[in-house]
Structure 1
């Protein structure tokens, strides 16, 4: 058994616990490939036993037995015929997903075989894409990226309000959304009469990919000594910050910003002095969407508008329009979900036909970790990158903005 593995097991045994996530990852990357013992090790890990004391003890026995086995022709094969680094990383990440690990750089693994961790670098990501399906090359990067994007969408009120089919994944520098600018109206034709030709004008909106990027640093001492899972906490916070940035521009981005928001592409109604959007104003906006043959599907509001709606009372009594204060929070208005976001802008409500709003994703969110970038400071660098292409509203009437004053 490797000294590092022995020390890992000794530490876990002295603390009377199972193996931690990074220890499991290190064990997987060091299990001898193709052996019977490896299959048993992976079965224990896959069954969730590694995190228990009994499972840890069983794994140690398997590792020791594996080390005591005599050399086989397979173990004596040339080094270049063994598993590649990408193969080991792909396999380890697939187990990490089952363990629910979002971000796990492992210094133990780096000491063993220079494996940076479960988060792929961009070069590793590209290399895995060109691997064979059996090695997980096509599955691992896409599954990892999808997990990150699902978390990003959960943190974004704007993305939550769109149908999944309207969030368009593309793989070019620009995304073009074709459409019909105008068309003729058919008329009545007498029997045996000649049918007239109609006309149609096509148009298109081109969106260019823009990247949201950020670096964060964390001291190695803090990562090693923290009582919480700081790596996953960092990843979650970076995803949340990226989602907030998407919301800011998707709602209110101007023509000079990287992403143009839906407020600038919709129809805005400004209320009188000292007024906030009310239930009556929302009803009028819903009607305006329907008058343009739209189907209202979601209402975005700022927190101050939500508070105003919750406190709105009937004209003849002290009854709250949104229900009793002891009831459930305000979540719908006339069957439409209300999504609250501070990124909508104060004193603002937006009634949308979300099926007419499109958002482009050039690349899903991914997070990398490096211990080399700030090596002289003994810090780990984390980087998040997500490339988006902005919003496109099919027709202005599908987005009705109500602004208080």
Structure 2
């Protein structure tokens, strides 16, 4: 089954192809060549089709390799690969049984970095006890990761996930300026112009929380305990990391995208931080073309900002800028100027000097995860209250690895 990202890219390609076909059909119907604007648009659409085709080819190859690895692993174990089924009640019953056995060994979620190409919400892993025996199949880890993605707009928008087995700092080299060439006269001196290189360091900050359930709750056959614990773990960790991924300082916490994103448009000084339709269009086109046509390009804002944007209309046509059509599999709220809009409550409200809207290529924000998500239990921590304590732990860091202009922001002008 194709991954959600492949389906999203296919849908995007279909829309781009339809736009290009409509452009060609119009010129053919009127028996004329393209105008200058149409030629520019035609070239941009074909460039995007080429980019999408290459991305789809890469993802199909990754999925094929992943499937071959799973099949080979299954043969080694002498059994079939477990996939997620509708039998959630059976999974939940086995989970309850494991609790009631009073086995105090920790439950550990397997390391997702054991296979390359890991993407949130796509890969599946088994839960296992420390003795190596299978406890639960796929679903629980999927639920934790899925809810983490839902709780962090940057993860949902397509941030690049980097997994490692150990947590020592990783330096990621990056270019901050390219070499520039110039015409050299005959016999003239060729000017030296070296590229500027830098680096960003990703560490591993530990996020964690505890959740407790009563013995009675564990035996309540009508309560979906598995889904509840997965949801709580994902939301708690996702909200904490997601906030830092946007506004984190990089000191004692991940480095947020707003810390390094550059201003693409600053509002009028007389508007008190608000924006106009034309200013959003300016912000869109402030992004360099390679970033703007990336499959991971999109908008980031909070709900109140989107409420203001929904009222804006393009000058001349009177059409609303925001559209309710949601690209399949993205989890976006809709589209703005053809790109998906992601909502996150951590984004600042509209105001003087506020970076309330971000637009860019979210694959340039890298998230590092060390080991797998750990989910462990203790029957002793709250023994006097007859409750079982679970803790969820994740080691994460993040930073915008391309600060040359991969993400641009709208910054409200002064009053």
Query: How does the TM-score come out when normalised to structure 2?
Result: 0.59
How is 1:4-403 mapped onto 2 (pairs within 5 angstroms)?
98=85, 99-100=87-88, 106=95, 108-109=97-98, 114=103, 119-120=107-108, 127=130, 145=141, 148-163=144-159, 166-170=160-164, 171-187=166-182, 199-225=194-220, 227-268=222-263, 269-271=265-267, 272=269, 273-290=271-288, 294-295=291-292, 297-313=297-313, 320-322=320-322, 331-347=334-350, 348-403=356-411
How large is the Cα RMSD of the aligned pairs? 4.3
Distance 2:140 2:222 in 1: 26
Would you say the 8 A contact 1:265–1:393 is kept in 2?
no
Would you say the 8 A contact 2:154–2:362 is kept in 1?
no
Q: Secondary structure at the match of 1:369?
A: strand
Cα deviation digits, residues 353-383 of structure 1 (max 9, x gap): 2243222222343322332321221011121
Q: State the shift of 1:120 in Å.
A: 3.1
The residue that corresponds to 1:32 in the other structure is none
Q: State the shift of 1:147 in Å.
A: 5.9
Does 1 or 2 have the higher relative contact order (CA < 8 Å, sep 6+)?
2
Would you say the 8 A contact 2:299–2:359 is kept in 1?
yes
Distance 2:188 2:316 in 1: 63
Distance 1:173 1:121 in 2: 21
Would you say the 8 A contact 1:102–1:232 is kept in 2?
no
Would you say the 8 A contact 1:102–1:235 is kept in 2?
no
Count residues in correspondence.
301
Distance 1:195 1:381 in 2: 69
Structure (1 or 2) with the larger CA radius of gyration: 1
User: For structure 2, which runs of at least 5 residues remain unmatched after alignment?
Assistant: 1-76, 112-126, 326-331, 351-355
Q: State the shift of 1:302 in Å.
A: 1.1
Q: State the shift of 1:332 in Å.
A: 1.0
Query: How does the TM-score come out when normalised to structure 1?
Result: 0.61
Distance 1:302 1:370 in 2: 38
Q: State the shift of 1:172 in Å.
A: 3.6
Q: Secondary structure at the match of 1:343?
A: coil
Q: State the shift of 1:262 in Å.
A: 0.7
Q: Secondary structure at the match of 1:342?
A: coil
Distance 2:137 2:191 in 1: 54
Distance 1:270 1:217, change over 3 A: farther
The residue that corresponds to 1:3 in the other structure is none
Would you say the 8 A contact 1:362–1:388 is kept in 2?
yes
Would you say the 8 A contact 2:179–2:193 is kept in 1?
yes
Would you say the 8 A contact 1:299–1:352 is kept in 2?
yes
Distance 1:183 1:109, change over 3 A: closer
Distance 1:304 1:208 in 2: 33
Distance 1:388 1:103, change over 3 A: farther
Q: Secondary structure at the match of 2:108?
A: coil
